[in-house]
Structure formats: C-alpha cells, structure tokens
Amino acid sequence: MHMQRKWSSGVLFSLLFTLVLTACGGGGGDSAAPVVPAGTAEGQWTGTMGGLAIAGVVLDDGTYWFWYPEAGNPLNAAGALQGERVSSTQNGTFASLNGKAFRNDTGGDIGDAPVTGFYEKQKKLDGEVTFFAGGTSTFTSTFDTEYTNVVPVVPVNASVAGTYTGSVSANSQISPSPPDVYEYTIVVSVSGGITVVATQVPPIANTSKIELGCDYTGTLTPQSHGNVYNIINFTTSNADSTCTLVGSTGVAFFDTDPDPLVATKIYVLVRNSDSTRAFLFMGTK
C-alpha cells in the first residue's frame, strides 16, 4: 500500500479540540451560533484508501470495521481496520484514538492506528489513518443504501448464504517460507453457521499475529441494519496450537449488488479479546 510519509498528530489534535469545543458549547456563551446536528457516521461505506478499494461498516454501537485488499489483487485480503469512534453529533467529525490495524501486507502485524476524519450523515466519510509501522494514508468513502434498505433476518438473509472463495496475503514472518497467498473457502449456511476452511495448506508455525491455515466454525447473529452479522461461538477442528482464536468474536459483513454480474462479497474479521491475534478474509461467491 502506498503510504504518505507525514505525521498526522496536528489533524488529530484539531479534531479532538473541535470535539471538546462542541461539547462545551463552543466556549462563547450566548453569542455562539447554533450548530445543526449532523447525526452519526453509522452505515455501510465503500471507497478508496491509498489507491486501494476499501469497504466496511460503522455500527450503531460506535464500532467500525473496514477491510482493504492487496495492491494488484482486489480479492486478496491484505488488512483491516477496527475500533471505536468518538463522533460528534453536531459538527460531523470522526475521531478514533483506539483504532487497530491488522496488516498482513506488512508482516502480519497488529498495532495502534488512530483514525480521524469528517462525515456527512449517509453521504460521505473521509479521513486519514496513522499506521503504527509509520506513515499515513487518506481515505474517501460514500454511503451504500444497502445498509438502510436491508432488513436483517434471523438466522441469515438467504441472499448471503452460500460458498465464498478468496485468499489472504501471506507474510514474511512465517517459517518455512509460505506461498504468496493462503486460499480459503467460507460457507455460510441458511441456519446461521459459518465455516472457514483453509484450502491450500495446514496450520504451520505462524509467528505472525494474523493466523493463516486454520479451520474454524462459528455462528452468525444479525446486527440491527444491513447484511452485517456478529460472529460468535468460534471454534476449530485443528489440534495445532497455532490456531488460537477459539472463543474469539468478530464481524461478517456482506456487500450485495442488484446487478447480477457483480458477485456478493464477504468480509470477515475475528480477533481475540485484546486484539493481539486475528483472522481476516475477503471473498466472493
């Protein structure tokens, strides 16, 4: 991914300062001009970051989940961003100090990644990510009406059930040297089950923080809007000790399209309670 080499602390400080001023009424007493509420940044968003496609959701509980692919391979998961936002309901600012970046494109690392930006409710969400490995990347995105048009169904909407194939970027911190990508098949059943099968290699001694080669099963429970589901009851059939995400939770996000020529996409991110290990995936059916 192309990273702009600049420090964004000034942007972060200015956004947080704006949030403080707003919370305090602007500090100007009765003379302060009224501010029109902008709602929240909740919704489904698609756009670009550093020249790569990015897709994800901001949920009604304030958490956000975004995925991006490897450069030159739009179906190969390279990384994800996840955290909680601090979002003003009055001035349209978006700031998250506790964001995490899950990056298989930089050696399978996980680290802090503050996010700052601006939004217009159900229109656009733009901003900047500061990566723990150094550098920043800006992103722009627009609201996808699928989030408000889709009524969630228990266990799952029939439109998203099926078999998905895709891959995850391999990283350089594995011995022996892995192939360039790890291929997976994910099956989503109409009964709400999700099955993750590594179709290329068995689990190996993985010294990175993002797991590769493990098989898992779990259960999907719907969020309040769109084709977004919580992943719970995560377990594995592998006896290998490198498969450490048993009992972890995450999100499965489905992006469908009315055009029959465009495949339904699935995005998966599961991480343990302290976000020190994770599994991420992108695929189509």
For 234-279, what is each residue's pLDDT tens digit? 998 776 667 889 999 999 999 987 666 678 999 999 999 999 999 9
* pLDDT band with cut points at 50, 70 and 90 for residue 6: very low
> Is 229 domain-assigned?
yes
Are residues 204 and 107 both part of a single domain? no
Q: Which pLDDT score, from 0 to 100, does residue 28 have?
A: 44
Indicate whether 1 belongs to any domain: no
Identify the residue with better confidence: 200 or 145: 145
Contact 126, 116 (CB under 8 A): no
Closest by CA position to 60, among listed 33, 85, 27: 85
149, 166, 183 — which closes off a domain? 149
Long-range contacts of 132-137 (CB under 8 A, 24+ apart): 132/101, 133/103, 133/106, 133/109, 134/3, 134/5, 135/3, 135/4, 135/5, 135/6, 136/3, 136/4, 136/5, 136/6, 136/7, 136/8, 137/1, 137/2, 137/3, 137/4, 137/49, 137/50
Top pLDDT among 132 and 46 is at 46
Residue 195 pLDDT level (bands cut at 50, 70, 90): very high
Q: Residue 120 and residue 137: Cα distance in Å, rounded?
A: 20
As a whole-number percent, the residues of the chain with pLDDT over 90 amount to 48
CA distance 280 to 177: 20
* Tokens (6 digits) for 217: 């099963």
Same domain, 127 and 246: no
pLDDT recorded at residue 61: 86
Inter-residue contact 45 to 58 (CB < 8 Å): yes
Residue 111 domain boundaries? 9-149
96 residue type, one letter: S
Residue position matching structure tokens 């391999």: 170
Lowest-confidence range among 43-47, 173-177, 265-269? Answer: 173-177
pLDDT-above-70 percentage for the chain: 76
Confidence at residue 18, expressed as pLDDT on a 0 to 100 scale: 37
Q: Is residue 2 in a domain?
A: no
